[in-house]
Chain A
Amino acid sequence: MDDFLRNAGKARDRLRLALYDLRRGLARFSEGDYPDSLFRVQLAVENGCKAVLSYLGVEYGPTHFPSVLLGRILSERESVKRLNLAKEQIEVLIRIASNASALEVHGAMPRYGWEVADRIIMPGEIYDQKASDGALRLGINTFSFIIKFFEGLQVPEDLASTLQELREEIKRVPQ
């Protein structure tokens, strides 16, 4: 298998994971489980960013901060040149990294809440409908840019069909 197919295969699988968590995030939101919705969207975007990194052939460790890696690539002239990124692609990648970073900062709080002096503040007390809705919008926006990044690029059929599924999922989200 050549490098292109290997990288595209990894990107496809990352996007499948992202799609799975995005769907769960939307379902949790409609059930009123706002912290878990936010966590799923956070995870979906993490995998969306990793899909882009995989497609670009970037190897990464078990990080929860792929936006930092994307930002680093974009800040290094040599990397931009090596990856042959066009100006429009760079702009799209900046938007992906920027949106994703705002979701990554939540860290483990949507799952563990926050321990204060006399008790643990439950995730549900921190993440209400408004907070979760904001994160969901940011996530959807990030996926729009991820789809945009892949548009115009050569992608194998299975990756293209995963991207199409993602496109359709996003369209279903009420504005």
Chain B
Amino acid sequence: MSLNNVDAIRQLEYRELLIEYSSKLLHLLGGPLRGILVFGSVAKGAAKPLETALSDIDLIVVLQDLPPLSERMRMYMSWVLEYRFPSLIQPVLMTPGELNEHVKARAGWIMDALCDGIILYDPDGFVAAAKENLLRELREKGVKRTTVGWVWPIAAGQVVEL
């Protein structure tokens, strides 16, 4: 197993932290781990210095199977306690199906995450495919990214199929 694109994390202190975290996660979860993607300020190289603890680290962690959300939080809390995962790392745990659903719903945060995010682990290319499909669709439909968010070329009142 190896991590991908770690050099794309420009801030060295965050790169080191994420390598350590991802390795622990792989050791803990093994096969069911289908993807790790870092997004937000760390992916953009714009995080505040790690020593200030002012920037959290946004991650999407894709796992083959997951319990309901309430169980997930308890599960993650126990990992934090046992493996000393830093709380600064705020992973969104989701199944492949949930990632697809999020993409289908075109939530702004998931579009940002996939477009700007750095894929650190993707053994079967699932996350890369989701990203590629989304980017292609955005291009084909002429969706533009502006300072206030994603803008679809739809006239007021126009009915479209997503």
Contact = CB atoms under 8 A, between A and B. Distances in A.
Interface string A133-150: 011001000000000000
B87 A104 contact: yes
Given A102-B80, A102-B81, A126-B69, A71 B54 contact: no
Nearest to B80: A102
Interface string B90-109: 10000000100110110101
A115 B107 contact: yes
Q: Say which size band chain A's interface belongs to.
A: 35 or more
Interface in A108-151: 109, 114-118, 121, 125-128, 130-131, 134-135, 138
A116 B102 contact: yes
Given A101-B87, A105-B90, A131 B74 contact: yes
Interface of A is mostly: helix
Interface of A: 60-69, 71-72, 98-107, 109, 114-118, 121, 125-128, 130-131, 134-135, 138
Interface of B: 48, 51-54, 56, 69-70, 73-74, 76-78, 80-81, 84-88, 90, 98, 101-102, 104-105, 107, 109
Given A71-B86, A105-B87, A117-B98, 18 more contacts: A61-B48, A65-B56, A65-B88, A68-B86, A68-B87, A69-B51, A69-B53, A99-B81, A101-B81, A102-B87, A105-B80, A107-B90, A115-B107, A116-B98, A126-B69, A130-B70, A131-B73, A134-B77
22 contacts: A61-B48, A62-B54, A63-B53, A65-B53, A65-B86, A66-B53, A101-B84, A102-B78, A105-B77, A105-B85, A107-B90, A109-B73, A116-B102, A117-B107, A118-B101, A121-B69, A126-B69, A128-B70, A130-B74, A131-B70, A134-B74, A135-B77
